[in-house]
A and B are shown apart, each in its own frame.
Chain A
Amino acid sequence: MRRIVFFIAAVILAVSLFSLCAFAERGPRLVDDAGLLDYDEFNDLTSRLDRISEDQQIDVVIVTVDSTGNRSLEEYADDYFDYNGYGYGEDYDGVILVLDMGRRDWWISTCGYGIYALTDAGISRLGDMMLDDLRYGDYYDAFVTFAEGCDTLFTRAKEGNVYDEYVIKYEKEPYNVFGNLILSLIIGFVVALIIVSVQKKGLKGAVPVNNAMNYVRNGSMNVTVARDLFLYKTVTFVVRQSSSSSGSRSGGSHTHTSSSGRTHGGGGGHF
């Protein structure tokens, strides 16, 4: 009897150990449970994801599902990443995109180096880039965009140029050459006109003196009346703008802890 109890305990221990070991077993990088891709698209995308993941040493995973059960999409994405053995290195560097076709939501969950490379701003940028394709059902295009986008963002991050909020502001609006040229020429013309007008004025010598400053008798000024009478006052106020000061290097990634105890970043939206 004791042996049986010991055996059962051993089995339970072994199973639980095994389940921990299951963390290490990497699943496929493209799981199309919702069936959105045809055969060629599936193969092409899988090879892309494998190539990018191995080159960058960061897992890039795409999963499509019809339903996430009673879990939120965020929990589902985190768990899917944690329990299917994705992630390189001790920090489990990786990123996973999950499409919930039931609710038409998407979620990107990041882990390890993925958190650092894909900031909140980076994730929402990827979402923006995918949005139209997702809406019109061009899932293959959307996934390629995601995969290549991750590749680019990882490369940038490794070059020390993490895509973040303060970068967006300027990248969204490219330098307006024409507008700035017109503005600069107008400013240049006004300043030039002032300069040449001063020079031109120097040619006018017969300028009348409209005051008699030079002829005031010394000390003759005598102020006999000096009344400063207060009349009334008005008070106005303006509400201060919440200062989203430009150039402040806020941004980065917000993180949370998933059910497995790992730290994830992420973001998502509806399509």
Chain B
Amino acid sequence: MAALQQYKCPCCGGGIEFDAGSQNVKCPFCGTEFEVDTLISYASEIDSQQQDDIQWQSQPEQVWQEGEGEYEGLVTYICNSCGGEVVGDQNTAATSCPFCGNPVIVSGKLSGSLKPDYVIPFKMNKEQAKQALRDYYKGKKFLPKAFKDENHIDEIKGIYVPFWLFDADANADVRYKATTVRSWTTGDKIFTETSYYSVARGGTISFERVPVDGSSKIDNNLMEAIEPYNFSEAVDFHTAYLSGFLADKYDEDSTQTVERANQRIKKTTEDAFASTVTGYVSVIPEHSSVKMDNGVAKYALYPVWMLNTTWGGQSYTFAMNGQTGKLRGDLPLDKGAYRKWLFLLTLIIGAAVMGLTYLFWLL
């Protein structure tokens, strides 16, 4: 059952966190650094001593869940460090204790069939995320100045977002109608010869680990916008990587999300085969069939920094790829600046065009 797991510093007993810079676990209190593997073996020894506690701690959870309707979906845990109540929703897998601030991991949410296969550890830290947001504002002409100036980040969270990774072998069978055009002149006649071809392409193409966000709370478009991740840096999952960050369990399973992966696979398959049709003036697809054979979906946690700001009574969410630092998010439009520029540019370009027509007339 669900229980909290905390990694304690073997040196001072403080709650320790994964450090994106050194890719090790580091104690924020005494500064001691450990390799992840060292900590895992140390923690497993301690775990065996705490079995009883875990049984006991699972009790209050039941009470809460059977309680009032408005609390439905909320789950409480007892912090191992201070005994305070930690409240999370059903999908919370890693968070921090609101009382003592120690990072806690709800181990039950990540065990058994719910256990991720891989995790890509954070490489970017909080400061880099803030800097990335400032850089993101640059060069955006229609971003309201006030938004830039008054901007303060309400909340910044490092989240391990659950992703489903789909492998697929696509089998394509596409037919196009294509034309070539030849032109020549005889006497005062210009001849145009159009030749029509039926072009068929077929074959296979394989895809690896097409990711689809498995959390309904997180905007899928935003997650696609900060792709891609470099999977070669992924490691086998262990809860130790989660320490100090937030983590969610998936709430959309692989059968619900496979459709999105297949849409993307189909598009790329069609593009890839269309790119082999060369030497024609026009190529129009007439028939396209892409059969997909999806393998077993893998479950992985990918690192994302989520930044929230509020401006003009509206909240804006930005996501940064915790591995590559790619940051994306929707920004507000300065309608005044937009109209001003549209008007000014119309005048400037209009004047330039008019100058050109006059010059042309003079010649």
A residues in contact (CB < 8 Å) with B? 170, 175, 180-181, 183-185, 187-189, 191-193, 195-196, 199-200, 202-217, 220-240, 242, 247
How far apart are the CA atoms of A230 and B136 in the complex, in Å?
Answer: 52
Residues of chain A lying within 8 A (CB to CB) of residue B140: 199, 202-203
Which residue from B198, B328, B345 sits with its C-beta under 8 Å from A195? B345
Q: Is B351 part of the contact surface with A, judged by Cβ < 8 Å?
A: yes
Note all chain A residues with C-beta closer than 8 A to B221: 206-208
B113-121, B205-213, B250-258 - the one binding chain A:
B205-213
The answer to whether B29 has its CB under 8 Å from any CB of chain A is no
Contact A203 B276 (CB under 8 A): no
Is B153 among interface residues, defined by CB-CB distance under 8 A? Answer: no
16 pairs of residues in contact across A and B, judged by CB atoms under 8 Å: A188-B350, A192-B341, A195-B345, A196-B341, A200-B142, A203-B332, A205-B225, A208-B220, A215-B208, A215-B228, A215-B265, A222-B205, A230-B196, A233-B195, A238-B192, A239-B189
B353 touches A187 (CB 8 A): yes
Question: Which residues of B come within 8 Å of A, CB atoms?
Answer: 136, 139-143, 173, 178, 185, 188-210, 219-222, 224-225, 227-228, 261, 263-265, 267-268, 271-273, 276, 318, 327-333, 338, 341-342, 344-354, 357-358, 361-363
Residues of A within 8 A of B208 (CB): 215-217
* SS class, residues of chain A in contact with chain B: mixed
Q: A191-B345, A208-B220, A227-B199 are in contact. List 4 more A-B contacts (CB 8 A).
A: A207-B328, A216-B272, A223-B276, A234-B194
Contact A212 B268 (CB under 8 A): yes
Q: In the complex, A114 Cα to B189 Cα: how many Å?
A: 42
A225 touches B347 (CB 8 A): no
Closest partner residue, chain B, to A224 (CB atom): B203
Decide yes or no: A223 and B273 within 8 Å by CB, A211-B268, A247-B363 being known contacts. yes
A187–B356 CA distance with the chains assembled, in angstroms: 12
A180 to B: closest C-beta gap in Å: 5
Out of B141, B190, B271, B330, name the residue touching A211 (CB < 8 Å): B271
In the docked arrangement, what's the CA distance between A221 and B196, Å?
Answer: 27
- The 3 A-B pairs at the shortest CB distance, nearest first, are namely A188-B350, A225-B202, A192-B345
A230 touches B333 (CB 8 A): no
Please judge, given known A-B contacts A202-B140, A209-B225, A211-B267, whether A235 and B191 are in contact too, CB under 8 Å: yes
CB distance from A231 to the nearest CB of B (A): 4
Chain B, interface SS category: mixed
Smallest Cβ-Cβ distance to A221: which chain B residue: B205
Residue from B191, B199, B220, B361 in contact with A175 in the complex, judged by beta carbons closer than 8 Å: B361
Q: Enumerate chain B residues within 8 angstroms of A210, measured Cβ to Cβ.
A: 263-264, 267
B199 touches A228 (CB 8 A): yes
Structural contact, A225 and B350, CB atoms closer than 8 A: no
Cβ of B200: which chain A residues have Cβ within 8 Å of it? 225-229
Nearest B residue to A179 via CB reads B357
Residues in B with CB closer than 8 Å to A239 are: 188-190
Q: Decide if A206 touches B261 in the complex (CB within 8 Å).
A: no
Task: Quote the shortest CB–CB distance from B360 to chain A (angstroms).
Answer: 10
> A236 and B199 in contact (CB under 8 A), knowing A188-B345, A195-B345, A209-B225?
no
Residues of A within 8 A of B204 (CB): 220-222, 224
Complex contacts, B318 vs chain A, CB 8 Å: 205
The chain A residue sitting closest to B344, CB to CB, is: A192
Contact B267 A206 (CB under 8 A): no
A212–B349 touching, CB < 8 Å = no
In the bound complex, CA of A220 to CA of B328 (Å): 31
Which of A203, A214, A217, A224 makes the CB contact (< 8 A) with B330? A203
Evaluate contact between B264 and A224: CB separation under 8 angstroms: no
Task: Enumerate chain A residues within 8 angstroms of B357, measured Cβ to Cβ.
Answer: 180, 183-184
Please tell me which one of the listed residues B142, B209, B338, B358 contacts residue A180 in the complex, with CB atoms under 8 A apart: B358
Which single residue of chain A is at the shortest CB-CB distance from B178? Answer: A228
Q: How far is the CB of B76 from chain A (nearest CB, A)?
A: 33
Q: Is the CB of B349 within 8 A of A191?
A: yes
Tell me the complex Cα distance, A222–B363, Å.
Answer: 58
Q: How far is the CA of A257 from the CA of B220 in the complex (A)?
A: 89
Instruction: Using known A-B contacts A188-B349, A191-B345, A193-B342, determine if residue A212 contacts B207 with beta carbons closer than 8 Å.
Output: yes
**Cβ contact of A231, chosen from B198, B224, B351, cutoff 8 A:** B198
CB distance from B290 to the nearest CB of A (A): 12
- The answer, among A193, A208, A215, A226, for a CB contact under 8 Å with B210, is A215
